[in-house]
Amino acid sequence: MRASQTLWNPAACADVLGGMPTQAQAVAAPANEPARVTQSFEVSADALFGFDSAKLSDTGAAALESRIMTALNKAEHVEALRVIGYTDRLGSASYNQALSERRALAVKSYLVSRGVPGEAIQAQGVGAADPVVNCPGAKSAKVVECLKPNRRVRIEVVAR
């Protein structure tokens, strides 16, 4: 399959390509060289979505197009992508987990709409895990602004 100028080797083509490993095997199982993250992009969730939302904004789509799709089109070989959604600590753990998953899936849907095969993308949400900043206090405008760096989506390019 071909997404712009980036060549993909999805699981659906394994038989045609002579038993090449599936995407899941390619990421997990070392062949000659272990799979590794070759590029990583972080995009502010506030740039992609409204606060407390998982609906991709026009500005968010433009940010993905300019940063991610441009990088993918220049890449020689991409094995897979990992899209990881994060939230801030405000809200319950279960709500934040669900929101981070919806945000990761929204980014995955956008990438699929731009020609990246869905089977090459792993989307996951991790809620408020791995905060970039710690801002004490109860929810207030000041704390919401302070926690902004924690609301993000990371896109990792996995290659051999």
Distance separating alpha carbons of residues 47 and 58, to the nearest angstrom: 10
If one looks up domain 2-159 in CATH, what number appears?
3.30.1330.60
Residue ranges covered by each domain of the chain: 2-159
Query: What is the pTM assigned to this prediction?
Result: 0.75
95 C-beta neighbours (distance < 10 Å), count:
13
Local confidence pLDDT in tens for the 160 residues of the chain: 444 444 444 444 433 333 333 333 333 434 555 667 788 999 999 899 987 889 999 999 999 998 888 888 887 778 899 999 999 999 999 999 999 999 999 999 999 999 999 999 999 999 999 999 999 999 999 999 999 999 999 999 887 5
Per-residue tokens: 106? 């929204």
Amino acid at the residue 84:
I
Per-residue tokens: 31? 């062949």
Among the listed residues 107, 112, 110, the one whose alpha carbon sits nearest the alpha carbon of residue 124: 107
Coil, helix or strand at residue 98: helix
